Structure formats: structure tokens, C-alpha cells
Amino acid sequence: MGLVVQKYGGSSVADAEGIKRVAKRVVEAKKNGHQVVVVVSAMGDTTDELIDLAAQVSPIPAGREFDMLLTAGERISMALLAMAIKNLGHEAQSFTGSQAGVITDSVHNKARIIDVTPGRIQQSVDAGNIAIVAGFQGVSQDKKDITTLGRGGSDTTAVALAAALDAEVCEIYTDVDGVFTADPRVVKKARKIDWISFEDMLELASSGSKVLLHRCVEYARRYNIPIHVRSSFSGLKGTWVSNEPQGDQPMEQAIISGVAHDTSEAKVTVVGVPDKPGEAATIFRAIADADINIDMVVQNVSAASTGLTDISFTLPKTEGHKAIEALEKTKAQVGFDSLRYDDQIAKISLVGAGMKTNPGVTATFFEALSNAGVNIELISTSEIRISVVTRADDVKEAVRAVHTAFGLDSESDEAVVYGGTGR
Amino acid sequence: MGLVVQKYGGSSVADAEGIKRVAKRVVEAKKNGHQVVVVVSAMGDTTDELIDLAAQVSPIPAGREFDMLLTAGERISMALLAMAIKNLGHEAQSFTGSQAGVITDSVHNKARIIDVTPGRIQQSVDAGNIAIVAGFQGVSQDKKDITTLGRGGSDTTAVALAAALDAEVCEIYTDVDGVFTADPRVVKKARKIDWISFEDMLELASSGSKVLLHRCVEYARRYNIPIHVRSSFSGLKGTWVSNEPQGDQPMEQAIISGVAHDTSEAKVTVVGVPDKPGEAATIFRAIADADINIDMVVQNVSAASTGLTDISFTLPKTEGHKAIEALEKTKAQVGFDSLRYDDQIAKISLVGAGMKTNPGVTATFFEALSNAGVNIELISTSEIRISVVTRADDVKEAVRAVHTAFGLDSESDEAVVYGGTGR
């Protein structure tokens, strides 16, 4: 039996009861003969409360100090978890990101992990302890300042530690039973996926599935660390994410892994762009200079009569204002007619490696949407994903129609088990 | 202008308003041309809340993890203070005890400072920053574990940093205006002391005065760091504690510095101890082996008729049970008659280096108590202190009578200014 890294999110350790429940689960893994390293997030609302305090003393909290503040959250939860485990008669030691050797760059509030030197953690587990590590945080390589990893940082900590410690598996405990073929809040008949490849999981994550973040899956793929996403409440087997199925996991990959949707984006259309070289470059250079990440980009064939074309792209709604401002400044240079901004859109994506070798997928997808009366506004595809933009109002119906069309519905909706008693 | 270390306690930074008020005071010192290092405690009730959480997950929280937990408190307050200072347009950086180079032994929950290596702090202030340091915490020399310094630890952090940084002064900001000739809650006419020697302050601290703890004063005396105790609310000049008076401080030391009282102790009397060598040793070895600190020890002359004597001593009430248990076990060996335990006592102490050369002091002290109708149960003296034990009910009257008898009363009770709006 090798080493296992387990990660528990804030909702799993929201209060003393939650911490005690997690302690029992951790001890179980230890009793089964594993070396256990646990990565833990801040308790429930702690981070929000700290952010609120910061806002009270300063309208724009400085990055370095903001990180120092936020990291108090995991310090509390990890120490409490270690105490709860010791109370069950097992040895446990907690470690900050810095003590655990999580080395990052110096970009406060969204630092990237550069290296993990887990000497103290390895020593601690070799001595028979359960090691508890603060998620979401590290220490900067050059200045030795405390940093935080940004959204989903604790998952990334867990995967990075798993890689550095050569773990058998990285178990991500959350408040749902795993990755589903669609969001179970929208599709009652969504099925839990037993196994999914890194590639498909990456596409789902970047298409709106929120169970795992793109960054964490990317890290796991690079170091080939199998992830097991499961519920800290139910204790059921969850979803394995890895290169190849293992053990009793299905040997054949499904044609379609799942349907994801995303309503957090808006659409910008630059209308009447002269169809000549360099125009698109000017537009997207302006967007890039404003530090805005864009998603889908679509350019129509220009109308023969006018020589003008439209360029549309999607971006997070939160970046909308900045994008319009940046584009307005290029108007004279590009010579476009007007800008249109639309935040009442949804993106629906079908993900599956099988679509590479199954030519009918695209047709079935569009037919399903058409039969449901859903209009398609933009289309964009990758090798293993098709995404469309529709009206936001249509999103639920569209997702359900596609889910059914690809035979993803479970036989009953009993199969969808939500995370027990927790949030 | 040199470097100043300022320390703010939990009541000074109890909420966002308090933190902003402290930030202004810190910036003032910086504007006056000082390099400023600030040591800060956890906000108001944070520590109690964390202790409460620990009790919910484990009845006996482990030392190492308990320290990890508690140190989250200063992490929050120091980061917020740094943000508030930056918001006033000055540069500030916060540092944990470990980052500030506070090296301790490995005794969790009450570690002792072994060394301070303030390289990062010196760098930070040399670069023009205000450095904020977490009080109460350090890192153990051998295991590199996070430790806490126990009660009054933040004051000790401040003095230790002041020593290591060769500071001009260590300012201890609190919720009273300084050290008083008696507890102003008991003696309305108590006067604020402008200057007091380390020696007298040490005696006051060990006699029940709570403004500064013995440990912190001892550290300051060893490294000759002047302490300035003052209010974070009123901003008035407070009390200087140092070897020699400086500047406009009174050149001649008062005969009596002040009257202290302490109602936290209990009295144990071992009745009927055979008056022969080794008996007292057996008794106090038993107490020492039970890890109990005792205070006053008094042995009466034995009665000629019986050859028996009584031995009394005082100790913290919290240790009473342990002491009685330890003594019961020595009964056969020592052959004493019985044990008496009394927790309705008070200790009243008169402190002042002047009593060495003023022979009337003891007499005046006893006369004052006698005139007030206060009975004396035990007496113990040092070179610069006389302490008596009385009934707890008599304590207020006794303190007032002594305070008046030594001419310590202020002319009006207007002089006593309490800590403004805060706690």
C-alpha cells in the first residue's frame, strides 16, 4: 500500500462536526495501511469573513498582506483537523504551505507553483504520522513571502504534493459524489462517471463543469497522477480521472463523456470589420493588452457586396466592461462599424474523445438542439469538444435535450446521490 | 531619530475601527522620523474563539497543533494592520514570528525565546517600510515547529525585538494610561507613575500589578531596553520603565513606587510539623515535583512545649488542588497534624527601592493596616518590597489605607484617565 493524498474542501470542514467526520475518514485510510497526506481548505465561510474584514480596513487590500491574511484560514482548519485525528488515537502533524515545501512565483493572490520540496512531509509520514497540509498557499521562491494560489488552489496543492510524493492517487473529497454526465441540478437523470480521461476532463472543466478546475487536472495529467473525485459525506466510490482506466473501471471509453454548460460568459461582436489582413490581429492585441482571457472566437465569411465581416468572441462577464473600453480605442485604426455586447448567453459543450472517430456526433448534437427549438448563435469545435452559444434562457432545455440524445440518461433518477447532509 | 518598537494588545485592535486608529498612531511615529517596528496581538476575542473551537474537536488539544491554531490570530491582525497602514499611503509589510527570526525552545504553549535574528525586519525598515510582526509566536530551534510564548508573550516579543534591533525604546500600548501607584479601579486617587526603575517594576509585576508581566520587564532589564507603557486610546505620555530616569523624568526616585494587590492566590498551612532538619525540604520537594510555583513562605517559631511548628505558603488558586494532593502523600513521612487550605486571602505589597534607606517604612505600613482594622496573617519581605496576606474582604480598604499613608494619593481623582472609548 502506497501513499495517498486526500484533499477536503471548505464545505467538508465547515464546523467542528465536519472536522470530526473528516478525521474519521482520514484515519480509515491510515488503518487500511496507507501513508496519508491530507490537504485541507479553510473552514466554510472563513475566507469570506477575512475578505470582509480586509474590506473594512482598506478598499484595495495589498496583494502580499491579503495573502498573509487569507492563509490564516487554512492554518485554523489544519490545526483543528490534526487535533481531531490525535483525539482518535493517531499521530498527526499540520504543516503550512511553506513548511510543506510548496514553492511558488511571487504573483500574490494567484501564484503558480514552481516546485514542491516535501522533505518535511515525507519525514513526517515515514515516522508514522498523518501529515496535514494547508491548501491554497505557498511561499515565494525569491522573497520568501507567503503567497496564495487563487481559485481552486487547494486542489492544485493536493495534486502537486501527490506528484512530488509519488502518491498512488490524489483523492479530492467534495460535496458531490463525483463528476456527472451533466450538472445534476439541471439534468435529473445525469449519471456519475466512473472513469474519465484527463483530456475529456480538461475539456469539461474549461466548458463550465465546476467539480475540478482546469489547472488542477492539467497538473495531474502532466505528472500522471490519478485523481479520485468523491464525496466526503457519502463515502461512495466517485469518479476516477486518469490516463487509462484501472481495476474494475470500464475498459472502453464512452463516445461522449458529458455535457457541460456555462452561463458566466458574455458575447462581444465587432460589426463591420474590413476583411483585410491585420484587422483581427489589431482587435485581439487590444484585448490581450487589457489582460483579458477570451474563449470562443468566430469570424463569419465576409459579405461579397461590402467586403465587411463580423468578429464575435466570448469572455467572462466580469471582463466585459474592460473589453469594450479597449475595443473602442481601436475603432479609428480598425474602422469597424459598431460593437455589440450581450451577456444573456449560455455556452453548451459536448465533450468526448469518441467524437474523433464517430462522424455522426456533430449532426446528432445540432438535431437535438433544433428539435428542442434552441437557436444556435455561435459554434466552435476542438478535436474532442463541440461548443455552441445559445440564449441563456434556453440553457436547461438544451442541456437536457443533448443529454438524452446521446443516451447519457440514467435509467432512474435514483442514481443521482447528492452529498448527504452537508452543503 | 532611531528605531522604535511599538506593541499593541488585543483590545487596541479589537475591530476594524481599532486597527485603523492604531494605523494612524503608527504612521505618526514614522512621520516623526523614526524607523518603526510594530508588534501586534490577535484581535480582541479571536484567541478565545480559537480555543473554543479546539475544545469542540478535542478535549486535550496537543501542544504543537494548539500553537499552530492560535498563531492564526496574530496573522489576521497583522495583515489587516499592514493593509490599513498602506491605505494611509505608507509602506508596510507583515511578518510571522518565524519570519521575524523569533527563535524559541520547543516547549509548546509556553516557549521561551532563545534568540532573535531580525535580518528580514531590519531589511524591511531599512527599505522604508513599517514592519509589522506577529506577537506571541516563534519557531522552535530544533524542529522548526511553530510555538507560542504563553501569557504576555506579545510584550516579550516586542522587548526581545527591541533588544535585537537596538531600538531606542519599546512602547507598550495598552488600554490604560500607564503604570499607577495602585490599581485605579480600587484607589480612585491613584497616580500615574512617570518613571519607575526596572527593579521596582519587577516587584510590582510579581505582586499583582497586571500592566506589564514580570517576564517582559526582566527581559528589558537584561538588555537595558527602556519601556514606555502608554494608552493607545488617549495618546498621552505614559510610564517609562528603565534603569535611569531620562529627559524630563523625575531625577529622584520616589521612596515608594506603589501598592500592588493580588487576589488570585490561596494559602496552604501545614499544621504541626516536627521542628527538625529536613521536614521543610520534604514538603517543598513534594510541591516542586508537582510542578507548582509557590510564592510567600513563612514558618513560625515552634512552640517550646510541643516542638511543633506551622509552615504556610501561598500559591495560585488554580494549583491548590494539586498541592493538597501532593502534600497528603508526604503525611506519613513528615508526620504533620493536618493541612489547611484557604482561598479567601489577598496579598498586599508595598514596593519601592527607597525603603532600603528609610527605616520607618515597615512601621508606617503596619500602622496603616492596623488603623484600617485590617488583620495581618502572613508577612514576607524583600529588599525593596513588603508583602502581607490579609482576608480577601479587606483588600480594597487595606490598599487605600496604605496608599494614603505613604502620600501617594493624587490631589484630585481627575488625574486618572481611563482608556478612552475602548475596552
B93-121 pLDDT tens trace: 999 999 999 999 999 998 999 999 999 99
Judging by DSSP bridges, how do beta strands A3-8 and A169-174 pair with one another? parallel
Residue A311's Cβ-count burial label (10 Å; 0-12, 13-18, 19+) is buried
Where do we find the cell 483590545?
Answer: B11
Q: Shortest CA distance to A239 belongs to which of A161, A176, A185, A156?
A: A176
Q: What is the mean pLDDT of chain B?
A: 90
Q: What is the pLDDT at residue A419?
A: 37
What's the one-letter identity of residue A87?
N
Residue of B48, B76, B87, B123 to mutate for A, most A C-beta atoms under 10 A: B76
- A75/B83 touch (CB, cutoff 8 Å), yes or no: no
- B144/A99 touch (CB, cutoff 8 Å), yes or no: yes
A188's CB contacts (< 8 A; 6+ apart) are: A413, A416
Q: Shortest CA distance to B149 belongs to which of B100, B197, B76, B207?
A: B100
Q: Which residue of B has its CA nearest to A124?
A: B143
Q: Shortest CA distance to B181 belongs to which of B197, B172, B193?
A: B193
- A53/B80 touch (CB, cutoff 8 Å), yes or no: yes
Using a CB-CB cut-off of 8 Å, the residues of chain A touching B56 are 16
What homologous superfamily does CATH list for B3-248?
A: Acetylglutamate kinase-like (3.40.1160.10)
A175 is in an annotated binding site: yes
HEC assignment per residue over chain A: CCEEEEEECCCCCCCHHHHHHHHHHHHHHHHCCCEEEEEECCCCCHHHHHHHHHHHHCCCCCHHHHHHHHCHHHHHHHHHHHHHHHHCCCCEEEECCCCCCEEECCCCCCCCEEEECCHHHHHHHHCCCEEEEECCEEEECCCCCEEECCCCHHHHHHHHHHHHCCCCEEEEEECECCCECCCCCCCCCCCECCEEEHHHHHHHHHCCCCCCCHHHHHHHHHHCCCEEEEECCCCCCCEEEECCCCCCCCCCCCCCCEEEEECCEEEEEEEEEECCCCHHHHHHHHHHHCCCCCCCEEECCCCCCCCEEEEEEEEEHHHHHHHHHHHHCCHHHHCCCEEEEECCEEEEEEECHHHHCCCCHHHHHHHHHHHCCCCCCEEEEECCEEEEEEEHHHHHHHHHHHHHHCCCCCCCHHHCCECCCCC
A1's CB contacts (< 8 A; 6+ apart) are: A32, A33, A34, A35, A168
Band of residue B73 on the pLDDT scale cut at 50, 70, 90: very high
% chain B with pLDDT above 90 = 73
Give phi and psi for B375, each to the nearest 5: -85, 140
- Give the start-to-end residue ranges of the domains of chain A: 3-248
- As a whole number of angstroms, the distance between CA A13 and CA A18 comes to 5
- As a whole number of angstroms, the distance between CA B84 and CA B70 comes to 23
Cβ(B54)–Cβ(B46) below 8 Å: no
pLDDT tens per residue across all 423 residues of chain A: 799 999 999 999 999 999 999 999 999 999 999 999 999 999 998 999 999 999 999 988 779 999 999 999 999 999 999 999 999 999 999 999 999 999 999 999 989 999 999 999 999 999 999 999 999 999 999 999 999 998 889 999 999 999 999 999 999 999 889 999 999 999 999 999 999 999 999 999 989 998 999 999 999 999 999 999 999 888 799 999 999 887 776 666 678 999 999 999 999 999 999 888 888 888 989 998 888 888 888 887 777 778 888 889 999 999 999 999 999 999 988 889 999 999 999 999 999 988 877 878 888 999 999 999 999 988 888 889 999 999 999 999 999 999 999 999 988 654 444 433 322
Would residue A346 be called left, alpha or beta, if left means φ above 0 and alpha means ψ between -120 and 50 degrees? beta
Cell representation of residue A13: 470542514
**Count of H-run helices and E-run strands, chain B:** 13, 20
ipTM > 0.85 for the complex? no
Cell representation of residue B359: 527605616
Q: What is the pLDDT at residue A420?
A: 35
Q: Which residue of B has its CA nearest to A93?
A: B65
**Choice among A412-421, B67-76, B80-89 with the minimum mean pLDDT:** A412-421
Instruction: Read off the pTM.
Output: 0.84
- As a whole number of angstroms, the distance between CA A207 and CA A272 comes to 29
**Choice among A116-120, A302-306, B215-219, B383-387 with the minimum mean pLDDT:** A302-306
% chain B with pLDDT above 70 = 95
A82's CB contacts (< 8 A; 6+ apart) are: A92, A93, A94, A130, A132, B62, B65, B68
- As a whole number of angstroms, the distance between CA B179 and CA B194 comes to 8
Cβ(A208)–Cβ(A347) below 8 Å: yes
- A62/B86 touch (CB, cutoff 8 Å), yes or no: yes
Using a CB-CB cut-off of 8 Å, the residues of chain A touching B19 are 57
Cβ(B26)–Cβ(B54) below 8 Å: no
A297-313 pLDDT tens trace: 888 777 777 888 888 99
The contact set of B with A (CB < 8 A) is: 16, 19-20, 23, 50, 53-54, 56-62, 64-66, 68-69, 71-73, 75-76, 78-84, 86-87, 92-94, 96, 99, 120, 144, 146
Q: Which residue of A has its CA nearest to B20?
A: A57
Cβ(B59)–Cβ(A20) below 8 Å: no
- As a whole number of angstroms, the distance between CA B229 and CA B172 comes to 5
- B83/A57 touch (CB, cutoff 8 Å), yes or no: yes
**Choice among A101-105, B153-157, B337-341, B383-387 with the minimum mean pLDDT:** B383-387
The contact set of A with B (CB < 8 A) is: 16, 19-20, 23, 50, 53-54, 56-62, 64-66, 68-69, 71-73, 75-76, 78-84, 86-87, 92-94, 96, 99, 120, 144, 146
Tell me which residue in B57, B64, B84 faces A57 most closely, judged by beta carbons: B84
B15-32 pLDDT tens trace: 999 999 999 999 999 999
Q: What is the pLDDT at residue B412?
A: 64
Q: How many residues does chain B have?
A: 423
β-pair partners for B378: B389
- As a whole number of angstroms, the distance between CA B13 and CA B73 comes to 11
How many C-beta atoms surround the C-beta of residue A185 within 10 A?
12
Distances (CA, A) of A412 to A195, A409, B190: 20, 8, 80
Residue B291 has pLDDT above 50, yes or no: yes
Number of A–B residue contacts, CB under 8 Å: 114
- B75/A71 touch (CB, cutoff 8 Å), yes or no: yes
- A82/B75 touch (CB, cutoff 8 Å), yes or no: no
B270's CB contacts (< 8 A; 6+ apart) are: B283, B310, B311, B312, B327, B334, B336, B339
